[in-house]
Amino acid sequence: MQVFFDYPWYCVPLCVVAGAVYSAALYWVGTRHQEAANRKPVILLAAVRFLMVSLLAFLLLGPVMKRKVSGHERPLVVVCRDVSGSIPAAERALPESLYDLEKRYEVVYDSFGGGSTNISAALTDVADRYAGRNLGAVVLLSDGIHNQGNAPEAAATALGVPVYTIALGDTTPQRDAWVATVRCNRTAYAGSQLPMEITVRATQLRGQHATLTISHNGKNLASHPLSYDDNTFAQTVTLPVTVDKPGLQTFTLSLSPSPAELTTANNSRTVTVEVLEGRRRVAIIAPAAHPDLGALKQSIEANPNYQVQMAVGTQGVASWRKDSLEKFDMVILHNLPSDAEWLRWVNALPRTLPRIYIVGTRTDLARFNSLHCGMEITAKKTLAEQVTASPNGGFTLFALPQDLAQRMSALPPLSAPFGTYRTGTGTQSLFYATVGGQATDRPLMAFGSVEGVRCAYVVGEGLWRWRLHSYLMNGSHDDFDQLIEKMVVYTATSSRRDRLHVTAERIYREDEPITLHAEFYDDNWQPTNSPALTCTLTATDSGSTLTYDFHPSGTGYTLPLGTLSPGRYHLQARTSFGGKEYNWSGTFVVEAYNLEQLNLVADHTLLNTLSQTTGGAMLPVASASQLPQLLADRDDLKDILYTHTRYTPLVSLPWLLVLIILLLAVEWAGRKYFLN
């Protein structure tokens, strides 16, 4: 054990001197008139005061005690229990024999599943939560039905410990038929036909017949007869339905039941489609041809709600009258303005038209700054640098799909102007620029507003590389398309006509956490969250109503609702500002998403694979009592002996506080008895 402090060594004798001087001044000077018979108690009291003052002075130096601490950590066994709907309630209880593990190991109980089962996520969560611990084994109680997420074999191997599985459920195919999958566009246009691709599966129903029906508001729209010609039947049919009325429309797909079916809960599914009156129009304008233009057009038109019209060069825009741009919902300006003529053209755009500025090497920065568009870039020379994306964890305007922001940081660099950047009040960066591996606070992709009109800024050209790299990494353009879709949808959603706006998806799943975002603009069309914002959420089916308060976040508001029951919901938000009331209303649908009812046959093959590849074993639930012995027979489940250095400030030791209080008490009692 060592004691050290930051002050010079000679401070310790000074503490002793301070104690001696203080006690001498108090007792020698103050008690010289005492008789000789009382001098001995005075000397004892002076010694007590000397010790106390010296100790307090020493503690003021901040001494720290360094010592080595040894101990041991028992092996950790994590018991993961599947509580999904595919497992009967009678089998969800833990076998009593598993509690015997607590005699030899540290045991942690966890659960996963619900409306769907993601074994891979459950194992990954164990690896993350207990990293660095003496993890000895994982016990998985499940029926092996895995209907969401990645294949669990890789997650099990990454644990680095044996996975013991206790097999639940029944592997015998039952008499059952169900609507397995439904594929269709979630958006359509009024008066158009919407094809629905439906897969029906059946087991042990050979020779039976059924009818697949699509209905809407109690009216049958299409039907198709089915004949189960095999005990493992699967057939995919495509049925077109006509959508007429705009809004959120819910369609019911039902399969007529057959005799002796195990359950009919999976014979029907509902699908909600957003029916639009017309497609949103996006204009892309650029001074010259560029591969970014094609990449943007393809990504935007991947969303059937949007159509794109491009104009390249002065000849390209010559056919567009200024008033024709009023028909567009937003405009994307690529490398504009690039000269005086283009500056006049940009200034003539409708002021209420939402826009996205893509600033590149051909952008005239001085003329760009004269637009007062919410961002200014000051550069002494026309230079470009390569920048990559770094996600901003504090971005609150909208949410990207899980892990998408992190994947975007691995994309190739963009060519951005070198200079000093300044953004307007309320502008939020979705990505910051990383230059030469060093993160900066410069915006790479940002969102703001000018007089209540939303604007987006992409400072860098070369987006076509992002789209190409997204395909090379994932085999699809989905990552890039989702990013561009979020950017376009957010920018084009609202104009200055809406002082209050709530951003919400139109369709959610019942297992999906819902978070609402809201914005409010003051009289100067600057975003503010000073007024209180409340909302009323009404379940249309039941009529039940709940009231919530939005929470200020950044320059706007957020409201986490969590998961909601399936059904249609009406949202009414309201606030008051400057003596006026402002309201916003909207509707969204929460779809039922119970994957557990689609397959009720246990998959013990998967459980056995997880155990064999990790060095564990699969046990039927009736043999779960063998598990404690199997773990006891392993040589790698041992206690870990550890020694580490602990640094403890002396002032935090409780016995020193007790000592100081005791010295004070002794001195006080002595003074009361001997000196009074």
Cβ atoms within 10 Å, residue 586: 16
The verdict on 330 and 405 lying in the same domain is yes
pLDDT at 448 over 50: yes
The verdict on 298 and 395 lying in the same domain is yes
The verdict on 81 and 230 lying in the same domain is no
- Residue carrying structure tokens 């919410």: 374
Q: Does the pTM exceed 0.85?
A: no
Q: Of all residues in the chain, what percent carry a pLDDT higher than 70?
A: 94
pLDDT of residue 214: 94
What CATH number does the domain containing 433 carry?
3.40.50.880
The three-state secondary structure class of 164 is strand
The verdict on 301 and 439 lying in the same domain is yes
493, 519, 549 - which closes a domain: 493
**C-alpha distances in angstroms, 505 versus 342, 399, 502, 509?**
37, 10, 10, 11
Amino acid at site 467 = R
Are 71 and 639 in contact by the 8 Å Cβ rule? The answer is no
pLDDT of residue 402: 67
The three-state secondary structure class of 506 is coil
pLDDT of residue 169: 82
Assess if residue 596 is contained within a domain: no
The verdict on 341 and 483 lying in the same domain is yes
Find, among 249, 230, 257, the residue nearest to 190 by Cα.
249
Cα–Cα distance between 566 and 588 in angstroms, integer?
A: 11
pLDDT of residue 496: 47
465, 493, 521 - which closes a domain: 493
Q: What is the DSSP string of 40-53?
A: HHHHHHHHHHHHHH
Q: What angle do CA 245, 246, 247 make, to 5 degrees?
A: 120
Mean pLDDT, the chain, as a whole number?
87
- For residue 470, what are the domain limits? 280-493
Mean pLDDT throughout 349-365? 91
pLDDT of residue 246: 85
Assess if residue 126 is contained within a domain: yes
pLDDT of residue 613: 93
The verdict on 134 and 201 lying in the same domain is no
The verdict on 488 and 362 lying in the same domain is yes
Assess if residue 657 is contained within a domain: yes
Assess if residue 585 is contained within a domain: yes
Mean pLDDT throughout 621-633? 89
The verdict on 442 and 316 lying in the same domain is yes
Which two structure tokens, joined as six digits, stand for 171? 């592997």
Each residue of 540-576: pLDDT tens digit? 988 899 999 999 988 889 999 998 988 999 999 999 9
Each residue of 114-161: pLDDT tens digit? 767 889 889 999 999 998 889 999 999 988 887 777 889 989 999 999
460, 477, 493 - which closes a domain: 493
The three-state secondary structure class of 467 is helix
Provide the pairing of β-strand 163-167 with 618-620: parallel
Each residue of 400-428: pLDDT tens digit? 876 788 888 889 999 999 989 999 887 99
Assess if residue 462 is contained within a domain: yes
The verdict on 566 and 607 lying in the same domain is no
Domain count, the chain: 5
CB-based contacts of 300, cutoff 8 Å, min separation 6:
282, 306, 308, 484, 485, 488
Each residue of 287-333: pLDDT tens digit? 999 999 999 999 999 887 788 999 998 877 776 765 567 788 899 99
The verdict on 427 and 450 lying in the same domain is yes
The verdict on 346 and 464 lying in the same domain is yes
Mean pLDDT throughout 640-644? 79
pLDDT at 37 over 70: no
The verdict on 272 and 284 lying in the same domain is no
